[in-house]
Chains A and B, each alone.
Chain A
Amino acid sequence: MATITAGAATLDNTGDDPRVRAPLIVGNNDYTTITDRVCAVVEDPKVRKAWLIAFLTAVSLTGMLFALVGYLIVTGVGVWGNQIPVAWGWPIVNFVFWVGIGHAGTLISAILYLFRQNWRTSINRFAEAMTIFAVVCAGLFPGIHVGRAWLAYWLFPIPNQMLMWPQFRSPLLWDVFAVGTYASVSTVFWYMGMIPDLATIRDRAKHPVRRFVYGLLAVGWRGSARHWHRYERAYLLMAALATPLVLSVHTIVSFDFAVSQLPGWHTTIFPPYFVAGAIFSGFAMVVTLAIPARAYFGMKDIITMRHLENMNKIILATGMMVGYAYAMEFFIAWYGGNEFEQFAFINRATGPYAWAYWIMVSCNVISPQLFWFKKLRTSIPVMFVLAIFVNIGMWFERFVITISTLNRDFLPSSWGYFRPTLVDICMLIGSFGLFFTLFLLFLRFLPMIAMAEVKSILPRPAAHPGNDHSSSSHTSPSHSELH
């Protein structure tokens, strides 16, 4: 592992002086050091202890998750706390939570790309990876929530001898398409963007097995001008394709609630409110993961304080949007004059789930306000704790929306109080295990930083003889090739 971080730590690139363009990559980095340092993580022959401990923990939790899924399938959904009137319990809460987490990756890779936000290059690769792994976790829950999991394929409109189709008027079916499209487009986008970097690892590989595997993954990338041209075209097209998905997926997820007729769910503000919340939680998760990863793998001068600060600004902005939505729900309940709606919201803030509501408000609305202060939004401990608060708050937001609406049915005789079972709790923990298993494998075996893209924002090296760039020549395009 190269240790070029020493000088970088003192370099501050968070200045807001418009006369000085702050560098996005600090330290004495050039094309070679970027390649060496990102590849070193993948090429390290030793398995590092902390990684191994984290990985084994995550794998055990994943094992627990799948054991519980098996138990659930064999026994039935009664092992969860789902019970009338709360028929949508934690599985749906977890589903919406994980789908939301996934939104940051596509936003960073697609929307920020189209807006020419060059700072995305340092974080887009692992944010995209995080997106895909979050969608994997999200996809698990509806699949097992259908009850008879072996009939989960009925979610898809497959022609069959029963002439039976999913309900096309139901947002639950739209969800299948929205999440399915999102998962496939994100995966293709992520993989395609990784091809030049995989080729770099292939070219540096010593062991024949590594050469073969990375060679296979690099699908014959040779870094010719024609390759780059087509790659850039395709990347732009994929970004354009993925951009509407950032907005559509959580819009459709919000329809799961908003299209139903229940007070507290039947709200037109839901689509934008959910999208803002998803981006909010997604960026919080990126910050949560980026802080330990950049410290542990010595990437502090590539994923700089400026990157973290930018993300914190987005967290602040989207947190304000979410807070506005919370306020607006109450306003409309009052202004709309519907007593059931009013009851639903008063019950939300003062009823049996008031504790969850106020956890949500303090984590999502109050705590991000600290990011108004530059000192706090550039402080690693503060932002780490805050990002975790936001993650907790956003999980509780879904909990509050799902549970607090359902637990008060129209007939008071049907009112109930939802209690999760041990299986519910362990499955939520297990889903984090699955997420971190995939993420840790990604960190170890795939380039966590988009080397080729980071190089595109570095100052172009002067022609200095004796400086050998050959090892990275396949993946260091000049600016003219990129733009």
Chain B
Amino acid sequence: MFHFPSWTLTVRDMGGAVLLVAPLYIVGLVAFGASPKTTDVGYQPDQPIEFSHALHAGQLGMDCRYCHNTVEKAAHAAVPPAATCMNCHAGIKTQSPKLQLLRDTYENGEPIAWQRVHDLPDYAYFDHSAHVTRGIGCASCHGRIDKMEKVWQEHPLSMGWCLDCHRNPEDHLRPLDQITNMTWAPENQREIGLEIKAKLNIAPSQNCSTCHR
């Protein structure tokens, strides 16, 4: 007759406890650790020029579309060429060492290697114009850009996050003249949203092929 030594009881009990806790731990680890809220939100790469949105869009109050001028017509919101910057910087801060790269670029035509902050997967199709001309403001997806010295990703941009708005657009719709307003936060968002939704006949599609073409 073989008897297991008494320490095996401890192992058994510990093993049982581990088997109970481990699944919860793993589920929690994956749910929070692998979520785009953890992996993607807050991504803030260094840029070749320390361009401050807080200064330009915030303090100076420039409209988003002055630089990102294709946003209402095209899928892609253009990153401006050096010429756009030089409209002002030909006369302002002309000697600033921070803008040396800009001046070089302007002269030799080599593009600036901006780092993309908001990067959707290649299999997801997104059209800026479809959103900004139908009542979705810049700040809804990009956050308060006017307060960011260096731009970071504010929202997860995950499929679930997209679908959340496609299912309940009224929580985010705003009048078309408020699209670039960074401070838009009405008391009665839902009422306004429902009104705009009815007026513009907004019924966001949830088909797979809407985004995965």
Contact = CB atoms under 8 A, between A and B. Distances in A.
Contacts of B163: 162-163
Contacts of B2: 202, 205, 208, 211-212, 215
A291 B88 CA distance: 93
A208 B2 CA distance: 9
A54 to B, nearest CB: 32
A161 B159 contact: yes
Nearest to A212: B2
Given A160-B160, A162-B159, A203-B1, 16 more contacts: A161-B35, A161-B36, A161-B37, A161-B156, A161-B158, A161-B159, A161-B161, A162-B158, A163-B160, A163-B163, A164-B160, A202-B2, A205-B2, A211-B2, A212-B2, A215-B2
B104 interface: no
A46 B164 CA distance: 65
A314 B158 CA distance: 55
A159 to B, nearest CB: 7
A150 to B, nearest CB: 15
Contacts of A163: 159-160, 163-164
A203 B1 CA distance: 6
Contacts of B164: 163
A159 B158 CA distance: 13
Contacts of A202: 2
B40 to A, nearest CB: 10
Contacts of A211: 2
Contacts of B37: 161
A162 B160 contact: yes
Task: Tell which of B4, B37, B156 has the most Cβ of chain A within 10 Å.
Answer: B4
Contacts of A220: 4
B14 interface: no
Q: Is the interface of B mostly helix, strand, loop or mixed?
A: helix
A215 B2 CA distance: 8
B153 to A, nearest CB: 14
A339 to B, nearest CB: 34
Interface in B135-182: 156, 158-161, 163-164
8 contacts: A161-B156, A162-B163, A163-B159, A163-B160, A163-B164, A202-B2, A203-B1, A208-B2
A220 B1 CA distance: 12
B31 interface: yes
Interface of A: 159-164, 202-203, 205, 208, 211-212, 215, 220
A205 to B, nearest CB: 7
B177 to A, nearest CB: 32
By Cβ-Cβ distance, the 10 closest A-B pairs, closest first, are: A162-B159, A163-B160, A211-B2, A161-B158, A163-B163, A161-B160, A162-B160, A161-B36, A161-B35, A215-B2
A163 B156 CA distance: 13
A215 B4 contact: yes
Nearest to A164: B159
B1 A159 contact: no
Contacts of A205: 2
Contact of A159 (B31, B36, B156): B31
B110 to A, nearest CB: 38
A252 to B, nearest CB: 26
A35 to B, nearest CB: 16
Contacts of A160: 160
Nearest to B160: A163
Contacts of B36: 161
A6 B186 CA distance: 94
A6 B205 CA distance: 77
Nearest to A474: B1
Nearest to A203: B1
Contacts of A203: 1
Interface string B34-75: 011100000000000000000000000000000000000000
A211 B8 CA distance: 14
Nearest to B34: A161
B142 to A, nearest CB: 19
Contacts of A215: 2, 4
Contacts of B35: 161
Contacts of A164: 159-160
Nearest to B167: A163
Contacts of A161: 35-37, 156, 158-161
A160 B30 CA distance: 10
B57 to A, nearest CB: 29
A196 to B, nearest CB: 16
A212 B2 CA distance: 8
Contacts of A162: 158-160, 163
A2 to B, nearest CB: 23
Task: Tell which of A160, A161, A212 has the most Cβ of chain B within 10 Å.
Answer: A161
A4 B213 CA distance: 72
Contacts of B160: 160-164
A441 B156 CA distance: 50
Interface string B1-27: 110100000000000000000000000
Nearest to B163: A163
A161 B37 CA distance: 9
